[in-house]
């Protein structure tokens, strides 16, 4: 049997492996992103049918150093990085934080090599965290993202959404673009990011590294709250959801911001279920991002389950933004079924998001906000949230389903499932929901952008 057929099909209830003389019926899932990337075995009762729903690109070959280097040396829509940096003295590179699975450490050495070849000294290559309204990064987190060698050779700084910004002008939508001063004053400006489906710009990465990445709170707030996306058909003629990565007012504001800043070079990375690169596209911040998006829309696409008794959602490799993945629990769940959400990430849900806090609170007390939550899964019999690192703050999170039951052991999960499900049971598993999305298409992209 081919590997793809095995991975995408049903794992029979009769033993896939043997443990202690008894038949093993379970699934191995990756967990602990950024903290060892472990593979954990999750067992289910004998006879339960387990269906693992992989993304279509699960078998895409991982690209190595040579392919990454070629991608950077052959940019889309702009001159080579060596030519751009020739005769310049300083460089700033904006990069995404740990809420994004981007394996930046695989790409940084090749960027630095091109800059060094152009005469840029290591100490004059500054890395700037581009996390928008998320919390600031610490040294351990930056070393995980960029690699230990990078933080030893190059300086890095945290962006500040409140100060140390410079105003560059106003967009057509009326947004005053205030951007990080250190980044703006560098001779050469670069962005490095990965692609993941995102409700605002269609896909993350690209211009999003500038706005919201390194803009002020005022600029970020305006883009999110004052610029309204025009009503468009949400699906095409065949009912396939459309990701608007061009015909999108908020994305156009991001693009204008990137042009105001004068980004010289951009690197986009599409990765697999193990956070390893399968495609890298470098060059113009808009054109290179569109090439990567055309690849990602097929690579990350996943067929939904149908009529499953239990839906298992593994938040890897983006468990720090667990609230974004709860929607997977209802995709293919039958009435009266159970939802199990796994988040084996030591950091848990990230601690702060200034934009979300401002939008959701609206003057309520913590306790009012918690009490006002509405159940999300009306067809579910139970919703189980499993993590050995689970804290009460997550169960009370205003973006989490209030019906969630916290489980600190997998045995507790199993006991609760067995009490509610008897006989012929189907378990649908989304093994890395943090990056998967449903079957989708892109809006029409002009050839000359």
DSSP string of 155-194, one letter each residue: -EE---SSSSEEEEEE-TTS-EEEEEHHHHHSSEEEEEEE
Chain length of the chain: 449
Tokens standing for residue 228: 């309204």
Predicted pLDDT at 11: 38
Predicted pLDDT at 363: 81
Predicted pLDDT at 23: 57
**In tens digits, what is the pLDDT along the chain, a chain of 449 residues?**
334 433 444 433 333 333 344 557 999 999 999 999 999 999 999 999 999 999 999 999 999 999 999 999 999 999 999 999 999 999 999 999 999 999 999 999 999 999 999 999 999 999 999 999 999 999 999 999 999 999 999 999 999 999 999 999 999 999 999 999 999 999 999 999 999 999 888 999 999 999 999 999 999 999 999 998 777 889 999 999 999 999 999 999 999 999 999 999 999 999 999 999 999 999 999 999 999 999 999 999 999 999 999 999 999 999 999 999 999 999 999 999 999 999 999 999 988 888 877 767 678 888 998 999 999 999 999 999 999 999 999 999 989 999 999 999 999 999 999 999 999 999 999 999 999 999 999 997 776 56
Query: 3.30.70, 1.10.3470, 3.90.226, 2.60.40: which CATH number matches 3-56+307-438?
Result: 3.90.226
Question: Fold match between 3-56+307-438 and 65-299?
Answer: no
Distance between CA atoms of 443 and 245, rounded to whole angstroms? 7
Predicted pLDDT at 362: 74
The residues, ordered by sequence, that sit 6+ positions from 122 with a Cβ below 8 Å of its Cβ are 112, 116, 153, 154
For residue 34, give the nearest of 161, 138, 154 by alpha carbon. 138
Distance between CA atoms of 305 and 334, rounded to whole angstroms? 10
Cis peptide before 177 (omega within 30 of 0): no
| Alpha helical stretches, state H, 64-172 | 65-73, 81-85, 104-117, 139-146, 148-153
The residues, ordered by sequence, that sit 6+ positions from 259 with a Cβ below 8 Å of its Cβ are none
Fold designation for 65-299 = Rossmann fold (3.40.50)
**How would you class 2 by CB atoms within 10 Å of its CB: exposed for 0-12, middle for 13-18, buried for 19 or more?**
exposed
Q: Determine which helix (DSSP H) or strand (DSSP E) holds 282, and give its type and residue range.
A: strand 277-283
Domain residue extents for the chain: 3-56+307-438, 65-299
**How would you class 65 by CB atoms within 10 Å of its CB: exposed for 0-12, middle for 13-18, buried for 19 or more?**
exposed
């Amino acid at each position: 049997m081919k590997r793809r057929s095995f991975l995408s099909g049903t794992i029979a209830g009769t033993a896939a492996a043997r443990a202690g003389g008894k038949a093993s019926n379970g699934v191995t899932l990756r967990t602990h992103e950024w903290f060892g990337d472990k593979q954990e075995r999750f067992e289910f009762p004998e006879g339960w049918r387990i269906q693992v729903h992989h993304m279509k690109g699960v078998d895409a070959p991982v690209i190595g150093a040579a392919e990454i280097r070629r991608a950077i040396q052959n940019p889309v829509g702009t001159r080579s990085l060596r030519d751009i940096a020739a005769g310049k003295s300083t460089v700033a590179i904006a990069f995404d934080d740990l809420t994004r699975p981007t394996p930046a450490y695989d790409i940084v050495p090749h960027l630095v090599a091109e800059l060094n070849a152009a005469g840029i000294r290591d100490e004059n290559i500054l890395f700037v965290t581009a996390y928008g309204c998320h919390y600031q990064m610490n040294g351990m987190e930056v070393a995980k993202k960029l690699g230990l060698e990078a933080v030893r050779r190059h300086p890095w700084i945290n962006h500040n959404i409140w100060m140390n910004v410079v105003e560059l002008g106003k967009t057509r939508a009326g947004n005053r673009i205030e951007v990080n001063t250190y980044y703006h004053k560098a001779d050469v400006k670069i962005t490095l990011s990965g692609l993941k489906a995102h409700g605002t710009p269609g896909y993350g990465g690209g211009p999003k590294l500038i706005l919201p990445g390194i803009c002020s709170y005022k600029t970020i707030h305006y883009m999110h709250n004052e610029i309204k996306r025009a009503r468009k058909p949400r699906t095409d003629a065949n009912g396939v959801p459309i990701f608007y990565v061009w015909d999108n007012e908020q994305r156009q504001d991001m693009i204008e911001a990137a042009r105001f800043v004068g980004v010289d070079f951009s690197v986009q990375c599409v990765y697999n279920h193990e956070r390893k690169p399968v495609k890298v596209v470098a060059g113009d911040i808009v054109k290179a991002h569109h090439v990567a998006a055309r690849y990602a829309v097929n690579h990350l696409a996943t067929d939904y389950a149908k009529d499953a008794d239990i839906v298992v959602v593994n938040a890897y490799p983006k468990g720090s933004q667990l609230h974004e993945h709860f929607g997977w629990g209802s995709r293919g769940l039958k009435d009266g079924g159970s939802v199990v959400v796994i988040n084996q990430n030591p950091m848990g849900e990230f601690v702060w998001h200034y934009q979300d806090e401002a939008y959701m609170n609206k003057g309520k007390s913590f306790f009012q906000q918690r009490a006002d939550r509405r159940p999300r899964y009306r067809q579910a019999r139970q919703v189980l949230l499993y993590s050995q690192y689970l804290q009460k703050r997550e169960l009370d999170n205003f973006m989490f389903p209030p019906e969630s039951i916290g489980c600190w052991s997998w045995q507790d999960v199993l006991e609760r499932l067995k009490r509610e499900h008897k006989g012929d049971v189907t378990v649908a598993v989304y093994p890395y929901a943090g990056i998967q999305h449903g079957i989708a298409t892109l809006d029409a992209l002009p050839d000359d952008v």
